[in-house]
């Protein structure tokens, strides 16, 4: 492998890093005169470049290349594309949303780009050191972004809470890593996987390591019982950042968990799938039941995203290499569908927040009269979150459920199915407010261009993934095959 090959393989990361630096410097040179618009444009261009680079690598038929503690394989490329798209949509929506809310918008966009870089690195990591570094990198950018509104106490609380939880979760995860290192003398995932047996007391050690590692991954993915930060942080953080935390950042948690468990602990697969299965039950049930009572949309979507994390992790809990539905495929499809759906929902929240300054359910009353397009998009996203066919969310649920049923985990499948009905109740409640509750306010809602564009992209993707799911599923099953071959 020569230097040019390496540059090409790392092109998404290099472009992202470069973009981040350029955004900071250009913003400095502009002396913050244009409210971050130039910075946002450069960031979007860079993200576009990185996306092209990622897709080129993904479709060039490159097989797995592992070097310098990173793996460039279809699995990591999938998550990189996901992270880049998600950050791109968030930036697109932020251009109008953040204007006037902060003086330091150049840094804001740069931090978002660095967050995308952090996710790219974390999802490629084949080495526990890199895993830790990637997750910490993502965490630190997220802490800053969550507390970006310096004047707003809630935003401060969001940042501090996230930081305290994150620091503890990171430390606990590091302890788990040290256990694996202690048992095998290696931090390389594949080596750990080869040396770590599931016999006797080593199995106990492995289970302890799984639980400790999960503190880190589950924290990112907001799985119960590592979710306590989520409602307050989601509520207090600037809404675009909430959208980011609930999608790209969450996906990173699942991606890393998937790779670490599959590659480093294949001999303990029965144990970690069982643990993840119980976390799935807890997350779905708790998230949905608490969401029922929420009237603050950001908080409601926070609990909804905890519940969704429960569905998503079912994919890993039902890991079944060689089956018709291997589980990982379900995980990826679910995350793809969930990304556009959840970002879309938050985009509508941003539009309403910008218009009325409120994120309360009451602000959505009669939305169909004031902003029909917004109400229709929101309905689409909510129905997709509820898993109603033929929208994207249905296929996510379908593939995850299929894996669970194929593994014959019928109790789990039944609990998940019943939970879907509970969730429908509160999603429908928002639809009800938008369509059937009269509003005192009659002023039409105007939506900024960037936000509209991001909404349209998300909405169309939710429809396309739902109606023409096939190409996505083919791409995903190819990605998964290679990971399963290399990992298990």
Contacting another protein within 30-89 (CB under 8 A): 68-70
Structure tokens at 197: 């047996």
Structure tokens at 244: 């980011």
End-to-end CA distance of the chain: give it in Å, rounded.
26
Pick from 18, 15, 37: which is nearest to 27 by CA? 37
Give the C-alpha separation, 282 to 288, whole Å: 10
- Is 157 one of the binding residues for another protein (CB under 8 A)? no
- Is 143 one of the binding residues for another protein (CB under 8 A)? yes
Site for another protein in 434-453 (CB under 8 A): 435-437
Give the C-alpha separation, 27 to 31, whole Å: 6
Cα–Cα separations (whole angstroms), residue 65 to 62, 72, 157, 175: 8, 5, 42, 29
- Is 26 one of the binding residues for another protein (CB under 8 A)? no
CB closer to another protein out of 98 and 144: 144
Size of the site for another protein (CB under 8 A): 73
The window from 126-134, 222-230, 356-364, 452-460 that contacts another protein (CB under 8 A) reads: 126-134
Smallest distance from another protein to CB 92, Å: 22
Give the C-alpha separation, 393 to 334, whole Å: 7
Pick from 264, 406, 266: which is nearest to 326 by CA? 406
DSSP for 16-63, please give it: HHHHHHHHHHHHHHHTTTTTTHHHHHHHHHHHHHHHHHHHHHHHTT--
CB closer to another protein out of 125 and 451: 125
- Is 477 one of the binding residues for another protein (CB under 8 A)? yes
φ, ψ of residue 324 to 5 degrees: the values are -65, -40
- Is 95 one of the binding residues for another protein (CB under 8 A)? no
DSSP for 274-331, please give it: HHHHHHHHHHHHHHHHHHTT--BHHHHHHHHHHHHHHHHHHHHHT--TTSSS-SHHHH
Smallest distance from another protein to CB 119, Å: 12
- Is 373 one of the binding residues for another protein (CB under 8 A)? no
CB closer to another protein out of 234 and 401: 401
The window from 181-189, 216-224, 237-245, 331-339 that contacts another protein (CB under 8 A) reads: 181-189
Smallest distance from another protein to CB 165, Å: 13
- Is 272 one of the binding residues for another protein (CB under 8 A)? no
Contact map string, positions 408 to 427, toward another protein, x by CB under 8 A: --x--xx--xx-xx--xx--
Site for another protein in 313-342 (CB under 8 A): 324
- Of residues 7, 29, 33, 103, which one binds another protein by CB under 8 A? 103
- Of residues 62, 64, 137, 464, which one binds another protein by CB under 8 A? 137
- Of residues 388, 453, 482, 488, which one binds another protein by CB under 8 A? 388
Smallest distance from another protein to CB 70, Å: 6
Burial 175-199 (b: 16+ CB within 10 A, else e): ebbebbeebbebbbbbbbbebbeee
The window from 29-37, 93-101, 179-187, 297-305 that contacts another protein (CB under 8 A) reads: 179-187
The window from 50-58, 84-92, 123-131, 224-232 that contacts another protein (CB under 8 A) reads: 123-131
The window from 78-86, 272-280, 339-347, 428-436 that contacts another protein (CB under 8 A) reads: 428-436
DSSP for 232-287, please give it: HHHHHS-HHHHHHIIIIIHHHHHHHHHHIIIII-GGGHHHHHHHHHHHHHHHHHHH
Smallest distance from another protein to CB 125, Å: 9
- Is 129 one of the binding residues for another protein (CB under 8 A)? yes
Smallest distance from another protein to CB 97, Å: 18
Burial 302-331 (b: 16+ CB within 10 A, else e): bbbbbbbbbbbbbbbbbbbbeeebbbbbbb
Pick from 144, 348, 146: which is nearest to 236 by CA? 146
Site for another protein in 202-261 (CB under 8 A): 202, 204-205, 208
Smallest distance from another protein to CB 270, Å: 19
- Of residues 278, 295, 358, 474, which one binds another protein by CB under 8 A? 474
């Amino acid at each position: 492998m020569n230097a040019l090959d390496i540059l090409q393989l790392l092109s998404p990361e290099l472009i992202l890093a470069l973009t981040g630096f350029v955004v900071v410097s250009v913003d400095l040179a502009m002396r913050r005169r244009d409210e971050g618009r130039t910075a946002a444009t450069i960031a979007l261009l860079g993200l576009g470049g990185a996306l092209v680079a990622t897709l080129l690598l993904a479709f060039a038929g490159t097989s797995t290349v592992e070097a310098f503690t990173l793996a460039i394989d279809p699995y990591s490329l999938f998550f990189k594309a996901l992270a880049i798209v998600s950050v791109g949509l968030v930036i697109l929506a932020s251009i109008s949303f953040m204007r006037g809310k902060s003086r330091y918008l150049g840094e804001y966009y740069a931090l978002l780009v660095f967050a995308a870089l952090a996710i790219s690195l974390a999802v490629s990591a084949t080495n526990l050191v890199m895993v830790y570094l990637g997750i910490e990198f993502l965490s630190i950018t997220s802490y800053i972004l969550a507390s970006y509104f310096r004047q707003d106490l809630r935003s401060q609380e969001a940042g501090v809470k996230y930081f305290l939880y994150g620091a503890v979760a990171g430390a606990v995860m590091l302890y788990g890593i040290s256990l694996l290192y202690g048992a095998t003398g290696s931090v390389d995932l594949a080596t750990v996987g080869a040396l770590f047996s599931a016999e006797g007391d080593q199995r106990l050690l492995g289970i302890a390591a799984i639980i400790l590692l999960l503190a880190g991954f589950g924290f990112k993915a907001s799985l119960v019982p590592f979710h306590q930060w989520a409602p307050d942080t989601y509520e207090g953080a600037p809404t675009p950042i909430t959208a980011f935390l609930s999608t790209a950042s969450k996906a990173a948690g699942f991606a890393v968990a998937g790779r670490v468990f599959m590659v480093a602990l294949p001999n303990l697969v029965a144990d970690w799938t069982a643990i993840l299965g119980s976390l799935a039950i807890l997350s779905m049930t708790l998230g949905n039941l608490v969401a029922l009572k929420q009237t603050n949309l950001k908080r409601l979507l926070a609990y909804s995203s905890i519940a969704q994390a429960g569905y998503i992790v079912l994919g890993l809990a039902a890991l079944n290499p060689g089956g018709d539905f291997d589980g990982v495929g379900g995980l990826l499809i679910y995350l793809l569908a969930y990304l556009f759906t959840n970002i879309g929902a938050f985009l509508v929240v941003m539009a309403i927040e910008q218009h009325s300054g409120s994120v309360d359910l009451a602000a959505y009353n009669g939305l169909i009269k004031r902003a029909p397009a917004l109400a229709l998009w929101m309905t689409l996203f909510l129905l997709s979150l509820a898993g109603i066919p033929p929208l994207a969310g249905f296929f996510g649920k379908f593939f995850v459920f299929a894996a669970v049923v194929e593994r014959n985990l019928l109790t789990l499948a039944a609990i998940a199915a019943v939970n879907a009905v509970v969730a429908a109740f509160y999603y429908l409640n928002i639809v009800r407010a938008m369509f059937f509750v009269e509003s005192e306010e009659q002023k039409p809602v105007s939506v900024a261009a960037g936000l509209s564009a991001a909404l349209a992209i998300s909405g169309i993707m939710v429809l396309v993934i739902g109606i023409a799911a096939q190409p996505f599923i083919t791409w995903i099953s190819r990605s998964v095959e290679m990971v399963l071959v290399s990992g298990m």
